[in-house]
Amino acid sequence: MTTTTDVPPTRPVLPAARKASLRLHLFGRSVAIMLTAMLGLPLFVLWVTLVAISPISIVAPLVIPATALVRAYANAHRRAAGRLLGRPVPASYRAPDRPGLARRIWNLISDPASWRDVLWLPVHAVVAFVTATLSVTLLLASVFYAIYPFLYWVTPQQAFGHPFGDSWQFHSVGEASVMMVLSPVAFGLWLLLQLPLTRAELRVTQALLGRR
């Protein structure tokens, strides 16, 4: 027997994300994802370790709070993905079985949804970190190159006077201004890739955490 969580469809955010406010919202989300995505790795190690040693140790009851922690983390990403995609990413966990501690632990360990959650943790950690970091880096790079001459002007020549090593040196603000041509390139790449990168991260959550 399984329990499911249905969320009514919402209007998808991503198709409308060409608006500047929504792009900035997705940028802020990328910053948060970049800083928190790797939390999935210690959760993965914790849960797998507890499950592996539970048959031969007294720590078996810790599987229950560890599973609750993994599911809370996964459900938070389900809700976020559902809001952006415009359709829910419902969970499909088994309902509690007969009472008893051992039976409850076995119900959690033998639930395929628990293993899908755990598989999602490292996969999402890597995909989300890479996609979010790339999105954030491109926008920040466009700002960085736009103000490069100013940075050269207010810092010692050694700081920004060698952008590509000793083979290319700047000796004036005018020469440093050539770096500004990279600003629209980085910004254009950000505009082009922000939505595909966000969708890639959301698809991982949808594929691994969605109902089977």
pLDDT at 166: 65
Give the pTM: 0.81
Q: Which residue is listed with tokens 């949808």?
A: 206
| CA atoms of 148 and 151, how far apart (whole Å) | 5
pLDDT in tens, 79-92: 999 999 888 888 88
pLDDT at 123: 96
Mean residue pLDDT of the chain comes to 85
- Confidence class of residue 6 from pLDDT cuts 50, 70 and 90? very low
User: Regarding predicted confidence, which is higher, 161 or 115?
Assistant: 115
pLDDT at 165: 65
| CA atoms of 30 and 22, how far apart (whole Å) | 12
pLDDT at 170: 77
pLDDT in tens, 119-138: 999 999 999 999 999 999 99
Check: CB of residue 41 under 8 Å from CB of residue 124.
Answer: no
Mean pLDDT of 167-187: 85
pLDDT at 15: 54
- Lowest model confidence (mean pLDDT) among 33-47, 50-64, 134-148, 187-201: 50-64
**Percent with pLDDT over 90 in the chain:** 54
How many Cβ atoms from other residues are within 10 Å of residue 118's Cβ? 20
Mean pLDDT of 113-117: 94
SS (H, E, C) 42-68: HHHHHHHHHHHHHHHCCCHHHHHHHHH
User: Regarding predicted confidence, which is higher, 13 or 126?
Assistant: 126
pLDDT at 8: 46
pLDDT at 11: 53
H-type helices in the chain, by residue range?
A: 20-36, 40-53, 63-85, 101-109, 112-146, 148-154, 157-160, 173-176, 182-209
pLDDT at 66: 95
On the question of pLDDT at 184 being above 80, the answer is yes
Buried b / exposed e over 155-167, threshold 16 CB at 10 Å, is: eeeeebbeeeeee
pLDDT at 132: 96
